[in-house]
Amino acid sequence: MRNDDAHNHDLSISTTNDGIPSRVALATIFSEVHTERLILRRLRDDDGPAMFAVHGDLETNRYNPTGPDPDFATSEERLRLWRQNWEEYGIGYWAVTLPQTEDILGFGGVRPLIWRDRDVLNLYYRFAPSAWGNGYATELAQTAVVLSRKHLPQWPVIVRTRAENIAAIRTAERSGLLRHPALDTEHIVFTLGWTPY
């Protein structure tokens, strides 16, 4: 795996009191990451059409109990919320493109949220069906996990998915997350770095 983080390895990162790198430090590392084949970049306010193309698609939401986004406004609102993570923490979900075009293949990465009263990083991936089967989700997820564990080891990484969603499960496993049945809800749960209290 190759990514832009290599340029930042030797920078000393400013941290807040609880050891979390500052928003600016995280943004420096996470805003644009180049993997072997992909560009993972911070969400922009003009990503709405691509958000709706991916999140409004029936096929990409086959295992999503709430179904696809019903309209453009719903996807725009989702984009607004996800962009807030970037504003607040300097980290959040990426848009995924290939180097030779700006066309968005999908969305994913990690975003901070509180789950079971803990700060966690939720690992996510959703790609347009035309991009499936190329290993892109694995490439994205592995990159997100490596960077998260390196720079935010305080925050466990979690994946919640449906037991029928084999592709999502395999992607979580290939990224180093382990099944954690004690945490299951209506979703099955995978974690990395989740320590007992």
CB of 68 to ligand COA, least distance (A): 10
Q: Which is nearer to ligand COA, 30 or 127 (CB)?
A: 127
> Considering only residues 31, 53, 72, 135, which one is a binding residue for ligand COA as defined by CB under 6 A?
135
Of the candidates 185, 42, 165, the residue with the CA atom closest to the CA atom of residue 111:
42
Stretch that binds ligand COA, among 22-30, 75-83, 88-96, 165-173 (CB under 6 A): 165-173
Strand-strand pairing, 118-127 and 104-115:
antiparallel
Stretch that binds ligand COA, among 1-9, 14-22, 24-32, 163-171 (CB under 6 A): 163-171
Q: In what order do the strands lie in the sheet with 93-97?
A: 32-34, 39-42, 93-97, 104-115, 118-127, 157-161, 188-192, 178-179
Write out the two tokens for 190. Answer: 């995978």
130 binds ligand COA (CB under 6 A): no
Question: What distance, in Å, lies between the first and last C-alpha atoms of the chain?
Answer: 33
CB of 31 to ligand COA, least distance (A): 22
Query: What is the binding site for ligand COA (CB under 6 A)?
Result: 60, 63, 125-127, 132-138, 161, 165-168, 170-171, 174
